[in-house]
Structure 1
Amino acid sequence: MLLRRCVVLHETRFLELFVRGCRMDAARARTKFDAFCAARARHRDLYQHRSLSQPPLSDVCEFMDILPLPKLTDEGVRVTIFRIRPQYPEGSADVAAAVRAVLLVSDARMRDETPILGDVFVWDVSAARGSLVGRVAAAAGAVRRGIHLAHAAYPQRLLRIHVVGAPPFIASTLQLMRSCMNEKIKRRLYLNSKVEELLDHIPARVLPAEWGGQEESIDTIARKWRVRVDEIRDYLRDLNEILPAKTKSYDESDIYGAVGAFRKLDID
């Protein structure tokens, strides 16, 4: 059933991503794939916009850069940067829309992704302003759902999260979140005071030039991803039409864990 649906999408590699991301566990891959499909119907508001060059998500690009980096590490890990842009317009800091943009880039990335060992996420929040705390609180529902979807409905093995340059008001929020995480996730969360510290964990050839690396600039890579999202817009719309293999009604706690309970997240 899964394979037939993937062939319809002209993407046998699509299924391979789920199987590899679940450590070759076919049953778990099927469950995660069904969750991926079910999310399209259950959380339509998070998937209704399929372009980064048109409003409302075009405005998010003034607030945040979202860019999977082109090169893998020597171990075969994909690094993805989420950077709050310096001097972003206050009106562009729509956190709920940012969640939609992150999920959109995640969908686009699956179209081209090669087999990888896992993922490393880098959140550069050094340019965040105090007003962002209230905006995150106002969009808590979308943020919470986005976190659960990232872990329960996408074929990724999250190896590390680096949070860079967190101002005191964000650092305190992160510490509160850490208290809700299980020990496995706590060990994978790193707080770095500056981007140069990433070179202790990620090779320079992978990182962008302004971070002491050898890749193109963040602006250049982010712009290429915005173009790529538009190039495959029809494919991204088609993803919203796929249906889960099972016809039963899903209980959200079964698929995504208890709402708001980080201890329920199942991450390899």
Structure 2
Amino acid sequence: MTDNGKYLVITPEEVAYVREQLGTNEEDIKTSVTSLREWLRMQPHLPDAVDDSVIERMYINCKCSMEKVKLGLDAYFSLKHKFPELLMNRDAESSEFPFAMEHFKMMIMPRLTKDAYRVHVWTAVDEDSTNIIWPLYGKIVTGALEVLLAKDYSLGDVIIFDLANVNAGHIVRADINLIRNLELCYKTAYRRRLKGVHLVNASKILHSAMKIVKLALSEKLQKRVFAHLPGSTTLFDYVQPDCVPDELGGTAGPVDNFSYKLLEVVNREWLLEKDKYMSDESKRPAENHNGDIYGIAGSFKKLSVD
């Protein structure tokens, strides 16, 4: 199922649906990608080591806004300076990654929802919070986002986070800055759009979890967080069952069919190769030194999620 990048099931009909929703077509995309490729070549501080298919996907992720794609391409290369702990050295064969995968199951479901969103599921958290090394999972998330930028075709994401095993120890060890930085990379370097975060089995720890949400996520994203009590079926008001693993009440199949499978689509050299391509800030044009948007000094506060 995972051979040659076939894990993500994207039909021609779904590609056509996504394009229709965004008011674009093959001719517009080709023209825009060519224009963006030329723009990239003219940026002295940016490498042009990115495939046309990636530019196309970023164009789709940016709702076909040329200016947002330019911001996205700049952030994609420049944020590696600011967040190397998230965006560099993503070696899936290092000793750290197998350890992380044993103690928390993360997956991206192969089917799109009916409205063309990609479903992410985080479940089976080890009850021993000392086994959860959050920065490692941040790195795994951006590795998956890298694969999606190369191979996905969707309108955005839905995250399902199973809180069944989450306890006070996990909450205490949560890294607010890591979550904020991950959100920033998600929406600026990869330009993806988050439709909703669904907290399932959320009774015991819900109050504490929502505190983390309010501290860590932007106000706009906070409004897209939904809680579902154990035994309820309210999740399926938002996501159809065939996009949800059996263990969470869906019909897609068991968790182990999907956990970390997306990273098997690419080899370790493919992810490590991305480390070579980053901005050269010494060559950034003077007029491009907007600290709130570009480069390693800014906070990116002006960039809001779509």
For the pair 1:134 / 2:168, whether they are aligned, the reply is: no
Classify 1:59/1:38 alpha carbon distance in 2 versus 1 (closer, same or farther; 3 Å).
same
Once the two structures are superposed, residues 209-264 of structure 1 have per-residue CA deviations (whole angstroms, 9 ceiling, x without a partner) of: 22232323211211423433xx3322212222223497158666435998698xx6
CA distance in structure 2 between the aligned counterparts of 1:146 and 1:186, rounded to whole angstroms: 15
Task: Say if 2:160 and 2:199, in contact at 8 Å, map to a contact too.
Answer: yes
Partners of 2:104 and 2:126 within 8 A in 1: no
- Which residue of structure 2 aligns with residue 221 of structure 1? 258
- Assess if the C-alpha contact under 8 Å between 1:121 and 1:160 holds in 2: yes
CA distance in 1 between partners of 2:171 and 2:144 (Å)? 24
Does residue 80 of the first structure (1) align with residue 116 of the second (2)? no
Q: Which residue of structure 1 aligns with residue 214 of structure 2?
A: 178
The SS at the match of 1:61 is: helix
1:151-185 Cα distance to aligned partner (Å, 9 max, x none)? 22212121111112235445334146437866643
Superposed, which structure 2 residues align to 1:9-28 within 5 Å? 9=49, 11-28=51-68
**d(CA) in 1 for partners of 2:291 and 2:126?**
38
- Which residue pairs with 1:65 in the alignment? 105
Structure 1 distance, partners of 2:161, 2:72, is 25
Give the match's secondary structure for 2:277. coil
Amino acid at match of 1:232: N
Letter of the 2:141 counterpart: V
SS of equivalent residue, structure 2 residue 37 = helix
CA distance in 2, matches of 1:80, 1:56: 22
**Closer/same/farther in 2, CA of residues 181 and 168 from structure 1, 3 Å limit:** same
Q: Secondary structure at the match of 1:70?
A: strand
Closer, same or farther in 2 for the Cα pair 1:205/1:257, shift >3 Å?
A: farther
Give secondary structure in 2 for the equivalent of 1:128: coil
TM-score, normalization by structure 2: 0.73
Change beyond 3 A, Cα 1:73–1:239: same
Describe how 1:110-259 pairs up with structure 2 within 5 A.
110-113=149-152, 115-136=153-174, 139-175=175-211, 177-178=213-214, 184-194=220-230, 196-228=233-265, 231-244=266-279, 247-248=284-285, 253-254=292-293
Deviations 1:49-82 (A, max 9, x none): 3233432222211222221110011111111112
Cα pair 1:51 1:58 within 8 Å, conserved? no
Aligned mate of 1:102, from 126, 141, 149: 141
Check conservation: 2:109, 2:121, Cα contact below 8 A: yes
Mapped to 1, the partners of 2:176 and 2:109 lie a distance apart of: 28
1:62 is paired with a residue whose SS is: helix
- Displacement of 1:110 after TM fit? 2.2
Compared CA separation, residues 28 and 12, structure 1 to 2 (3 A)? same
- The normalised TM-score by structure 1 is 0.82
Structure 2 segments unaligned to the other structure (5+ residues) = 1-34, 42-46
Residue number in structure 1 paired with 2:85: 45
Find the aligned partners of 1:102 and 1:180 in 2 and give their Cα distance.
Answer: 16
Q: Show structure 1 runs of 5+ residues with no match.
A: none
Q: Which is greater in Rg?
A: 2
Matched-pair contact (CA < 8 Å) for 1:2–1:15: yes
Deviations 1:66-119 (A, max 9, x none): 211100111111111122x25455442111222111111211232221x21221
Whether the 8 Å CA contact 1:71–1:206 is kept in 2: the answer is yes
When residues 98 and 10 of structure 1 are mapped into structure 2, their CA distance, relative to the original with a 3 A threshold, is closer
Distance 2:68 2:256 in 1: 37
